[in-house]
Structure 1
Amino acid sequence: MAKEKTDLNGNAPDESKVALLLVDVINKLDFPNASDFRRSFSSMSLALPKLIKRSRKFDVPVIYVNDNFGKWRSNFKSQIAECSKVDCQVRDDVLRLAPGPDDYYVLKPQHSAFYATPLSLLLESLKVETLIICGISAESCILFTATDAYVRKFKIVLASDCIVSQNAAKKNAALKLMKESLRAEVKISSKINFKKYLDD
């Protein structure tokens, strides 16, 4: 049964069978072809906060994994500050997705949230078995992250309305591939049953 967790750091859970993994959601979207992603990103920024709120209600850890964009001296707080500037075209969207004080964050140098990061150690320490994955983009960082999660024996759930892509065709193709090859469950965020995964 799902049960109350013991606090390790503030209200962050010490252990949880489920984690919400947010990939590259703190993002200025200022890369080449970024305009192709902005409408999808805006839609995600409306759905994802509701999923985050539900995660916290069930004491499920929320883990932000963000690209360091090649800036090796940067940190997560400085990335949030950059995205909060008035000239950031997706400022309002990013502010809706900003982390809470008890959320976790990891910086990554490449596409996968696992590659050259401490994410595996964090998930092991939390005793996570199921990853609910959201973020940018279905055909790139989400795909690489889900693949690395699969080979590490995690159960994968993809919140389809909380995943950004360049276009619908690429998103549908990537989700189909992950469903068939990685045994991922694909659900809209409102249909994700936290209690089910916590009680499995």
Structure 2
Amino acid sequence: MNNIWKPEHFSSPALLLIDLQNAFFEYPALERQRATLLKHCQRLINTANEYDLPVFNICTVHRRDKSTWTLSMLEDDQGFVLEGTTQAQNLAELDLRGSQQIIKHRDSAFFRTVLEQSLRTLGFHSLIIAGVSSQSCIAATAGDAFAANFRVAIAKQAVASEDPHFEKTTLQLLAEQHRQPAVDTESLINAISRPEQSE
């Protein structure tokens, strides 16, 4: 990680918060990590707000008419995170004031959303990604960010998975294949607040 973590590229990043919604914390393995995960997410949110950096609250929400459902949802005839439900709401502990919400229907936050256009318009080229789950929506978003030539750091203490072994493999793959390091919260904050001291 030391070879690919370049804090000078993350002095002015956008923060992407992925699927911090009630539905995903119905899984016991994620619920057990909830308090620690949200503590680190909130620290990143607060830092982004302090330095006037954009925070994107990216949520999975599906329509009741099935028009946005995935193939597996259609095959099972089982909806998930449906609009207007408690499942679709953000976790109550998070203070997301000032964030921009983007609704997605697939794992990647870039797939058929306005995210890339918004980042280009604002002039941001580096991203910090936090949220759940590491092996699915985090990985898919990070992969599409790489394809779009955004630099990415994964907020190591602000992501979580139902399967820690799968998570470890996923983060290792992102680091090795895409040069997207998993970085601790303190280092990310230092890169933003004290860029001259973070190298």
TM-score by length of 2: 0.75
Number of equivalent positions: 169
Tell me the SS of whatever aligns to 2:155.
Answer: strand
Normalized per residue, which structure has more helix? 2
Distance 1:43 1:17 in 2: 25
Distance 1:128 1:181 in 2: 22
Give the superposed CA RMSD.
2.8
Tell me the SS of whatever aligns to 1:50.
Answer: helix
Task: Give the equivalent residue in structure 2 for 1:194.
Answer: 192
Q: Quick one: structure 1 residues 190 and 61, their matched pair in 2 at CA, closer, same or farther if it must change by over 3 Å?
A: same
1:97 aligns with 2:68: no
Offset of 1:117 from its aligned partner? 0.6
Task: Give the equivalent residue in structure 2 for 1:126.
Answer: 122
The gaps in structure 1 that reach 5 residues or longer are 1-15, 86-90
Tell me the SS of whatever aligns to 2:20.
Answer: coil
Q: Quick one: structure 1 residues 52 and 158, their matched pair in 2 at CA, closer, same or farther if it must change by over 3 Å?
A: same
Higher relative contact order (CA 8 A, sep 6+): 2
Q: Quick one: structure 1 residues 128 and 83, their matched pair in 2 at CA, closer, same or farther if it must change by over 3 Å?
A: same
Distance 2:88 2:55 in 1: 21
**Contact 2:13–2:53 (8 Å) recurs in 1:** yes
Task: Give the equivalent residue in structure 2 for 1:8.
Answer: none
2:113 to 114, 117, 121: 117
Q: What amino acid is aligned across from residue 96 of structure 1 in structure 2? A: E
**Contact 1:139–1:171 (8 Å) recurs in 2:** yes
**Contact 1:29–1:35 (8 Å) recurs in 2:** no
- Runs of 4 or more, structure 1, over 6 Å off, are none
Distance 1:152 1:84 in 2: 28
Q: What amino acid is aligned across from residue 36 of structure 1 in structure 2? A: A
Q: What amino acid is aligned across from residue 156 of structure 1 in structure 2? A: V
Q: What amino acid is aligned across from residue 55 of structure 1 in structure 2? A: A
Tell me the SS of whatever aligns to 2:124.
Answer: coil
Offset of 1:171 from its aligned partner? 1.5
Same amino acid, percent of matched pairs? 25
TM-score by length of 1: 0.75
Distance 2:157 2:19 in 1: 15
Task: Give the equivalent residue in structure 2 for 1:19.
Answer: 14
**Contact 1:17–1:127 (8 Å) recurs in 2:** no
Offset of 1:83 from its aligned partner? 5.6
Offset of 1:82 from its aligned partner? 2.1
Distance 1:84 1:71 in 2: 12
